[in-house]
Amino acid sequence: MRGSSSTRLARFVRLALVLTTMTAGAGLLSASGSRAGAANVRGTSQALPDSRPVTGQSAAHPLSASPLHGVAAYLASRQGVAQVALYDRRTGRTYLLAGGPQAQYTASIVKADILAMWLRRYQSRPRPIPAAIPYSIQYLMKNMITVSDNVAATSLFYFGGGCRALTAFNTLIPTRDTTVGCQTPTYYGWGNTTTSAADQVAIVAALAYPGRVLSPAARAYGLGLMESVIPGQRWGVSCGPWGSACEPPDYATPVPGVTVALKNGWKYVPTCTRQDATCPWQVNSIGWVRGQGRNYALAVLTTDDPVGPGTFGFDYGITTIQGVSKLVWANLAP
């Protein structure tokens, strides 16, 4: 987001903010027409895969009254390119805001997707989850989610069938904008998956809410892992729900009565060949929040976070995401 703040704000206002009415208990589907410029404030008649209508911003749901109120103005003051998707369970609406090209790299948030794929495989076994899951697989799942271990993720991704298997699983959610990264001779692949914030909210919702993809036991097990992320990775969508003091090294401190299940991802933008501090960052956070009258799934993707010494771009992306999360939490107050 280069140029003046007013120019950047106008850019956000022109881009898509889509509200989708969802059928209660039917699960969440990503909204079509969410590509930058494809849907605008006048709306679109394009339908979801299951023929539910997609509507744009209307007089009945003005931007000033939406859960994303203030987010566009905030993001216009930040460097980089951001996408935000929010599913508010109370109203059954999905809100999308994009400040640039739709496809962004997942980095480690794809690990929640890999987890969901494996959980679906075990939910049909004779024994219930978690007893149906071999200890070795449970161990890999736990490390992949709670400490974001790449070796565990690579093991589950590769032995789970790689990009073909995860792509097939994603058709069940369904995702519309996600292209799973495939293994190459020099890279394990999954971290270069490209996606949209809308798709990531759909994946979180498959874990958080009853639907046709995952059983209650599978969802409970997956959410339990996402609720157990180590303190040093407890940033992003946890900020706001768990207070506004979200500083490293331990970031947000859990608040009694407020559940946050999250997965974060970060890496240098893969198109930068040096893969060092001269490269911009991709920093993402996805998760489910419930408590104090709120119940929602949120995905914030940021790319081209600025170059700087050490982890400057990484920290900058975290700050951007946490600013969005705090606004959403405040806007959704009962």
Model pLDDT, residue 100: 74
What pLDDT is attached to residue 248? 96
Residue 90 has a pLDDT of 96
**pLDDT for residue 275 is more than 70:** yes
Residue 282: predicted pLDDT = 98
Residue 102: CATH number of its domain: 3.40.710.10
Query: Which tokens in the block code for residue 218?
Result: 């599978």
Residues pairing with 267 in the sheet: 282
The residue segments making up the domain with residue 199 are 5-331
pLDDT tens sequence across 99-128 = 876 799 999 999 999 999 999 999 999 999
- State which amino acid sits at residue 67: P
Q: Other C-beta atoms within 10 Å of 214: how many?
A: 24
pLDDT at 49 over 50: no
| Omega cis (within 30) before 67 | no
Mean pLDDT over residues 177-193, rounded? 97
Residue type, 281: W
Mean pLDDT, residues 283-311 taken together = 97
What's the rounded mean pLDDT across residues 207-213? 98
- Name the β-bridge partners of 298: 86, 287
Share of the chain above pLDDT 70, in %: 80
What is the gyration radius of the CA atoms in the chain, in angstroms? 19
Distance CA 302, CA 300 (A): 7
Does 94 have pLDDT greater than 80?
Answer: yes
Total domains in the chain come to 1
Q: What pLDDT, in 10s, does the model give residues 125-143?
A: 999 999 999 999 999 999 9
pLDDT at 102: 74
Phi-psi region of 137 (alpha: psi -120 to 50; beta: other; left: phi over 0): alpha
For residues 278-307, average pLDDT: 97
* Banded model confidence at residue 297, pLDDT cuts 50, 70, 90: very high
Residue 99: what pLDDT? 84
Report how far residue 147's alpha carbon sits from residue 163's, in angstroms, rounded to the nearest whole number: 23
- Position 193: which residue type? T
User: Which amino acid is residue 128, in one-letter code?
Assistant: P
Mean pLDDT estimate for the chain: 85
Output the pLDDT for position 78.
Answer: 97
Residue range 255-268, pLDDT digits in tens:
999 999 999 999 99
The count of residues in the chain is: 334
Q: Higher-confidence residue: 31 or 160?
A: 160
Is 224 a residue whose pLDDT tops 90?
Answer: yes
Q: Concatenated DSSP letters for 281-294?
A: EEEEEEEEEEETTE
The confidence score (pLDDT) of residue 63 equals 52
